[in-house]
Amino acid sequence: MLGRMSLAVTGTIGIDTVYTPRERREGVLGGSAAYFAAGASFLSPVRLVAVVGDDWPSAHRDALGRFKGICLKGLETRPGSRTFSWGGRYFEDVNQRETLFTEVGVLQEAPPRVPDAYRDTQFVFLGNTHPAVQADFIDQFPQRKLVVCDTMDLWIKTAHGELLSLLKRVDGVVLNDTEAHELTGIRNAVSAARHITTLGPTFAVVKKGEHGAVLVHRDGVAVLPAFPATEDRVIDPTGAGDSFAGGMMGHLARLGRTDFRAIRDALSWGTVVASFTIESFGPERLQALTEAELNERHEQFRSALGVGS
């Protein structure tokens, strides 16, 4: 075992509007990097690289700043720019979501730079943003040992070529089943994940919402169900994917491992972190979460799986 490694996330910080079948919320703290960092912070310190406009509410900065493990040195506020904002609507089947709008705002300007103090980071997660920007971040981490990326419908449709170039340069990919289907044209999650590993990455994780996740790695295949949450606990699934990735990468960074078995075990941490995220709008539930609660639910999950260590 190598021991704890440093972890960084690049991606978006956004202001979300979320419609669920029961409620509508505006001005919610969101973005791929925000959810990732919030989720990872329970397992490993995490360095955040993102940019917001000067319209970003100070309450959101305070909320992120209160997560013990998140370093905000790499969060740039750009005067005169507008923060990225996204709206989405969930259907009665909460695995189904449609994007209502995406206002890229500051994302169409120059991306933020990785601070010098972060350049020694070994574990890097390239959260959702334009794939060309994700690729540019890679070289800014010269000591990287593991680089994992995510992507989303918008980029699969509008930046396909750049996405394929990015995939050649990363070790792993984490995405949901709809995205895996859009990217590969293959509906079966295992086949889609396997196909993705022929495009460059050593492994692909495909998340299937309440149906769990599959991992296809050059050294093996693993499956994991979702945490068995009852319907009343699912308030807003936004950020489940990003915080899943946060829990997974946070666990890998704290172990300092990148092998198949470690990634397989890390999926359970991602699953449990995501199970908290969906219990509220935005990262509110994660804000209230304690490490003890996280560990306790992880134990419950292990016992629900009925497997040993």
SS3 33: helix
Nearer to ligand AMP, 12 or 121 (CB): 12
Least Å distance, CB 270 to ligand AMP, is 11
Do residues 180 and 189 touch, judged by C-beta distance below 8 A?
yes
Give yes or no for residue 32 binding ligand AMP (CB under 6 A). yes
Q: Which range binds ligand AMP by CB under 6 A, 39-47, 64-72, 219-227, 239-247? A: 239-247
Size of the site for ligand AMP (CB under 6 A): 18
Strands (E), 68-164: 70-78, 84-90, 97-103, 123-126, 146-149
Q: Given candidates 42, 67, 86, 281, which one binds ligand AMP under the rule CB under 6 A?
A: 86
Nearer to ligand AMP, 5 or 180 (CB): 180
Give yes or no for residue 16 binding ligand AMP (CB under 6 A). yes
Q: Which range binds ligand AMP by CB under 6 A, 9-17, 70-78, 220-228, 284-292? A: 9-17
* 292 C-beta neighbours (distance < 10 Å), count: 8
Give yes or no for residue 132 binding ligand AMP (CB under 6 A). no
Nearer to ligand AMP, 30 or 53 (CB): 30
SS3 95: coil
Q: Given candidates 39, 105, 111, 239, which one binds ligand AMP under the rule CB under 6 A?
A: 239
* 4 C-beta neighbours (distance < 10 Å), count: 14
Give me the sign of the Cα torsion angle 100, 56, 248, 201: positive
DSSP annotation of 139: T
Residue 247: C-alpha distances to residues 13, 35, 116, 262 (Å): 18, 10, 25, 13
Which residues contact ligand AMP (rule: CB under 6 A)? 12, 14, 16, 30-32, 35, 86, 102, 128-129, 152, 154, 238-242
